[in-house]
C-alpha cells in the first residue's frame, strides 16, 4: 500500500447526487481505500480515474481532518446552517490505516464538542468497536447512526467480490456489540450479493433497521457504472447471474419481510437518509 500524509484545505464536502436529499455534507477522512472492493463505484470517479496507481494500492491520510472540521463547522454554525454528515461516501473511515493514524477517532473527539445535527458512519470494519466510548458520548449531543455494510452472509462470495475487506462474521459481531452498547445501528446490505436463506436470522438482534441496495440502484447511474466495472461478467462467471436482475430488490424486500416488519426495512437512497 502506497500511503502518504496530506494536509487538507477542507474536509466537509457539499452533498450532491445520491446524498443530496438528506445530507448537507459528506466527510472522508481518507482518500483511497485498502478494501479495494471490485464493485466500488469510486473506481469510476475522477479521484481514481486520474490516478496512475490502481484502486486499493494507494491511500492518502488527511492528517489535519479534525482541525479543519472544527473550523468549518464553526463557520456553518455562525450562519445557523444545518449540518448533516455522511461519513464516508468515497472511502472507509475505519480501514486498516485508521488503527494507527486515528484520524476518524480524532474527528469523533472533536465532534463531541462541535457536533453536527446528524452523523451517519458507514463502514465495513469491526474496528469501529474501538470507538464505542466516543460514540456513546456523541449520541448525547447529536443524532447518530452506525451503519455496517454486510452485503452477504457467505464468506465465499465475499472472497470473490471483496477479498481484502473484513470477514462477514467479524462485521456482524462488531455491529451487535455496538447495538448492545445502546447506539442506533443499521445493517446495510449493499450492494446485495448472493446470500443464504438463513441470512435474515443471522443478523437478528444487531440492528434497528435494514437498508437493502443493489448494484443497479446504488451505483449512481442505474447500473451503468457496475457494468463498466465488469459486474455482469463476474456474476455470470460464478453462476450468480439470477442475482443481477435489476428488480432483485423487490424479491429481497419480500423475503426479509417474512422475518422483520416492513417499517424496519428501507430501500437504497431512503435507507441512507437521516
CATH number of the domain where residue 116 is located:
3.80.30.30
SS3 state at 12: strand
- What is the predicted pLDDT for the residue at 234? 97
- What is the predicted pLDDT for the residue at 50? 78
| DSSP run (H or E) holding 159 | helix 155-161
- What is the predicted pLDDT for the residue at 220? 76
Cα gap 121→104, rounded to integer Å: 10
Cα gap 44→226, rounded to integer Å: 9
> Phi and psi dihedrals of 255, rounded to 5?
-70, -45
- What is the predicted pLDDT for the residue at 197? 98
* pLDDT tens track, the chain, 274 positions: 999 999 999 999 999 888 988 999 999 999 999 999 999 999 988 888 878 899 999 999 999 999 999 999 999 999 999 999 999 999 999 999 999 999 999 999 999 999 999 999 999 999 999 999 999 999 999 999 999 999 999 999 999 999 999 999 999 999 999 999 999 999 999 999 999 999 999 999 999 999 999 999 987 788 899 999 999 999 999 999 999 999 999 999 999 999 999 999 999 999 999 9
Cis bond before residue 154 (omega within 30° of 0): no
> Phi and psi dihedrals of 123, rounded to 5?
-150, 165
Cis bond before residue 191 (omega within 30° of 0): yes
HSE, side-chain direction, 13 A CA sphere, residue 204: 11
Cα gap 236→104, rounded to integer Å: 38
- What is the predicted pLDDT for the residue at 218? 85
Residue 47 in contact with residue 118, Cβ under 8 Å?
no
What residues make up the domain containing 127? 2-272
Look at the block and give the residue holding cell 465475499.
Answer: 158
- What is the predicted pLDDT for the residue at 79? 92
Domain tally for the chain? Answer: 1
Cα gap 210→212, rounded to integer Å: 7
- What is the predicted pLDDT for the residue at 153? 98
pTM given for the model: 0.96
Amino acid at each position: 500500500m502506497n500511503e502518504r500524509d496530506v494536509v487538507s484545505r477542507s474536509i466537509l464536502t457539499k452533498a450532491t447526487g445520491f446524498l443530496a436529499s438528506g445530507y448537507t455534507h459528506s466527510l472522508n477522512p481518507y482518500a483511497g481505500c485498502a478494501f479495494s472492493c471490485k464493485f466500488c463505484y469510486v473506481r469510476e470517479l475522477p479521484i481514481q480515474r486520474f490516478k496512475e496507481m490502481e484502486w486499493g494500492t494507494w491511500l492518502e491520510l488527511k492528517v489535519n481532518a479534525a482541525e479543519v472540521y472544527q473550523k468549518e463547522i464553526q463557520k456553518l454554525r455562525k450562519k445557523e446552517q444545518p449540518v448533516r454528515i455522511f461519513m464516508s461516501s468515497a472511502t472507509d473511515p475505519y480501514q486498516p490505516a485508521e488503527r494507527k493514524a486515528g484520524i476518524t477517532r480524532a474527528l469523533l473527539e472533536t465532534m463531541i464538542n462541535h457536533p453536527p445535527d446528524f452523523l451517519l458512519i458507514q463502514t465495513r470494519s469491526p474496528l469501529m468497536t474501538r470507538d464505542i466510548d466516543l460514540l456513546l458520548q456523541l449520541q448525547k449531543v447529536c443524532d447518530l447512526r452506525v451503519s455496517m455494510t454486510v452485503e452477504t452472509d457467505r464468506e465465499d462470495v465475499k472472497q470473490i467480490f471483496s477479498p481484502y475487506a473484513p470477514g462477514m462474521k467479524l462485521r456482524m459481531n462488531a455491529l451487535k456489540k455496538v447495538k448492545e452498547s445502546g447506539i442506533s445501528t443499521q445493517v446495510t446490505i449493499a450492494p446485495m450479493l448472493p446470500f443464504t436463506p438463513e441470512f435474515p436470522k443471522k443478523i437478528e438482534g444487531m440492528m434497528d433497521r435494514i437498508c437493502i441496495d443493489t448494484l443497479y440502484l446504488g451505483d449512481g447511474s442505474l447500473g451503468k457504472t457496475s457494468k463498466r466495472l465488469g459486474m455482469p461478467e463476474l456474476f455470470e462467471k460464478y453462476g450468480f447471474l439470477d442475482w443481477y436482475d435489476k428488480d432483485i430488490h423487490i424479491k429481497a424486500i419480500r423475503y426479509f419481510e417474512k422475518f422483520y416488519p416492513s417499517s424496519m426495512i428501507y430501500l437504497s437512497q431512503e435507507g441512507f437518509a437521516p
